[in-house]
Amino acid sequence: MGEADDGWRISGDPHFPVNRGRLCIKGWSATELLQHPQRLRQPLLHGQPVDWDTAYDYITERLRDLLQRYGPQTIGVFGSGALTNEKAYYLGKFARLVLRTPHIDYNGRYCMSSAAAASNKAFGIDRGLPFPVSDLALARTILLVGGNPLETLPPMAQWFEEQRANGGRLIVVDPRRTATARTADLHLAITPGSDLALANGLLFLAIEEKLVDLEFIRCRTVGYEAVRRTVLHYHPARVEQLTGLPESALRQAIRWLAEKPSLILTGRGAEQHSKGVDTVLAYINLALALGHIGQPGGGYGCLTGQANGQGGREHGQKADQLPGYRLIEVPEHREQVARHWGVDPQSLPGKGRSAWELLDSLGPKGIRALLVFGSNVVVASPDARRIQQRLQSLDLLVVCDAFLQETARLAHVVLPVTQWAEEDGTVTNLEGRVLRRRRVLTPPAGVKSDLEILRDLAHRLGHASHFPTAQPREVFAELCRVTSGSIADYSGLSYDRLEEQNGIFWPCPHPDHPGTPRLFAERFFHADGKARFHAVEHRSAAEEPDGDFPLYFTTGRTLEHYNSGAQSRRVSRLSRTCPHPVLWIHPELAAHYGIGDGAEVVVETRRGQAAFQAEVTSDIRPDTLFAPFHWGDAQAANLLTQGALDPTSRMPEFKLSAARIVAVHPPSPNGHPAKEPA
């Protein structure tokens, strides 16, 4: 950060190897939030300002009562991929040692969980990109499935630009012609929900055209024969019927992709489905069969957007994991963590409910109290009206946030917290590069860090010895010790080392270790060192269009806003540029319903209705509607989405709901939808 006449401003670091000084519009304007007039500076109890002792007394008394009367299974904790590694670690430790509850999960379950589960199955490890981001520029061809980095990860666009300048090609799979798809050499406007069929169809063609790398398959993988037999049923005619893509485009794509080195990247468009894990496995199968993985510029990777989407799931705030990617149901892993924490392994709770299942179980017959750190669940979760009703049924809802966002408005207690520029910590980016976040401003009076809140509550609840500090440096040192010997081994890291370098890649098992930028150059992380193929079949979504709901509805992000919009909607520059959600609708469909640009359109699914302003565009399929999910109340796209879950990752099916248009109104005078849907 640098200082300007009108206050603080952001400046990029041209020497930082990931973004090389580039930021997106959200980053450039983030300082406005630090002294925003709507920022919370005092705890709220039932909506009224109180001091910290009063707020803490209320929380601890209610928690003690609920624990005594109903037991730890009735307490839930919901975290965030926006929390630092230190906070994620402390939050998981707090849930399991202080509250003794198994029910902790986080909003990252809605982000990378399907890709993470698939990577663990195929490679024995999960890291978003198992290679440095600079490898993107080395690829002959990039196949990008369900991602739009030009708008959702703008600083990364430079690597795609450099790849193109080097003579590389880009193939984008997306039902919309996004900003990224407009730059592609080949845009495959796929039928929503058919990404898995496309992957199997491409592998069919690779086998038919003898493009597979049989030597790589023999030496470095197992399970290929079962996959080969499966994909032989995905001939071009069948795949065209399922995906809507012509055979000529499929053949062009596989011929380009077979050139070495090439990369396959998946994003939320492929992963946020009830078959998201199998879909990612199908694309990993393709990358393995072509022999790309392990060489610079080749392989498979997953794109993520949250500030700590990678680190947030490594250290214990996920229902099935302990710090270092250890699994809570593996006795050896429980013993290793319990030894560091000084507790009996049997005292640690087991696996809890995933994010959606946790929220859907709120109420008198399930989880009666919920602590939320850094997440706006009522906007970000599918079937949002149902989740709001669940939250309103709680005996205790505590929300830690800097602003009174939609979830906080429902809370019994709201605790004001520090923001990014006011605290030290670390985050781990999508490459697995652990980075220092440095405090540059003194937080305003009246707010506390999440670490302080967790320490204070732990002390009041009788666990002071397990939470002796709220200093990020000391918490990080503890985290590093606890991860020793794990898959995500941070034990060789320290604040001092991170200060000296532009981040260090995990695993880093000792202080002299340089870190591991590329994971699969010599072996994979299964015991035999080989990657696993997995035979997977296309299947229908949990909800397909029919006579009553004939359209596909899908969601995503905009350039200007971030996740639930709890912060970005408060930034004047961003809210002026993008003040409300727009509904992408194809001209043919718009003509059928008499919809013009700017009209108010009410969309309905089996969960409810939401109102949007129409944007008529040929950049979307005629059978598909799209709206971003950054808004709440009547404009919440997640009023329409569903809670159908992937059986492995427990990822909700955000990207596909059967929908219909139920009302069209002329544009409102203020330019955005004003009517509350019925």
Query: 114-302 and 551-665: same fold?
Result: no
pLDDT at res. 1: 52
- The class of domain 551-665 in CATH terms is mainly beta
pLDDT at 395 over 70: yes
Residue 200 · residue 246 · CB < 8 Å = no
Q: Provide mean pLDDT across the span 212-227.
A: 98
Q: pLDDT (tens digit, 9 = 90+) per residue, 329-378?
A: 999 999 999 999 999 999 999 999 999 999 999 999 999 999 999 999 99
pLDDT at 6 over 70: no
Mean pLDDT of the chain: 94
From the number of C-beta atoms within 10 Å of its C-beta (0-12, 13-18, 19+), residue 49 rates as middle
Quick one: fold of 114-302?
Dimethylsulfoxide Reductase; domain 2 (3.40.228)
Q: How confident is the model at residue 563 (pLDDT cuts 50, 70, 90)?
A: confident
Q: pLDDT (tens digit, 9 = 90+) per residue, 65-105?
A: 999 999 999 999 999 999 999 999 999 999 999 999 999 99
pLDDT at 40 over 70: yes
End-to-end CA distance of the chain: 47
Q: How far apart are CA 348 and CA 346, in angstroms?
A: 5
Q: Provide mean pLDDT across the span 421-438.
A: 95
Q: How confident is the model at residue 285 (pLDDT cuts 50, 70, 90)?
A: very high
E strand intervals along 477-608? 504-505, 531-532, 551-556, 582-585, 600-604
Q: How confident is the model at residue 392 (pLDDT cuts 50, 70, 90)?
A: very high
Q: What are the CA-CA distances from residue 323 to residues 96, 337, 370, 402, 424 (Å)? A: 12, 7, 22, 27, 20
Supply the DSSP string of 640-658, one letter for each residue. T----B-TTT--B-TT-EE
Residue 512 · residue 104 · CB < 8 Å = no
Percent with pLDDT over 70 in the chain: 97
The domain spans of the chain are 1-33, 34-110+308-505, 114-302, 551-665
Q: Provide mean pLDDT across the span 471-476.
A: 98
Q: pLDDT (tens digit, 9 = 90+) per residue, 526-536?
A: 999 999 999 99
Name all contacts of 451-457 with Cβ < 8 Å and 24+ positions apart: 451/86, 451/87, 451/90, 451/475, 453/400, 453/415, 453/417, 454/87, 454/90, 454/91, 454/94, 455/90, 456/52, 456/56, 457/56, 457/59, 457/60, 457/94, 457/98
Residue range 34-110+308-505 in CATH 3.60.21.10: no
User: Is the pLDDT higher at 672 or at 579?
Assistant: 579
Q: How far apart are CA 374 and CA 402, in angstroms?
A: 9
Q: How far apart are CA 611 and CA 639, in angstroms?
A: 10
Q: pLDDT (tens digit, 9 = 90+) per residue, 598-641?
A: 999 999 999 999 999 999 999 999 999 999 999 999 999 999 99
Q: pLDDT (tens digit, 9 = 90+) per residue, 530-560?
A: 999 999 999 999 999 999 999 999 999 998 8
Residue 366 · residue 103 · CB < 8 Å = no
Q: How far is CA 38 from the centre of its chain?
A: 27
Q: Which residues pair with 145 in a beta bridge?
A: 173, 266
pLDDT at 5 over 90: no
Q: How far apart are CA 199 and CA 92, in angstroms?
A: 37
Residue 385 · residue 608 · CB < 8 Å = yes
Query: Where are the alpha helices (H) located in 236-362, listed in sequence order?
Result: 236-243, 247-257, 268-271, 276-289, 331-341, 355-360
Q: Provide mean pLDDT across the span 225-245.
A: 98
pLDDT at res. 2: 46
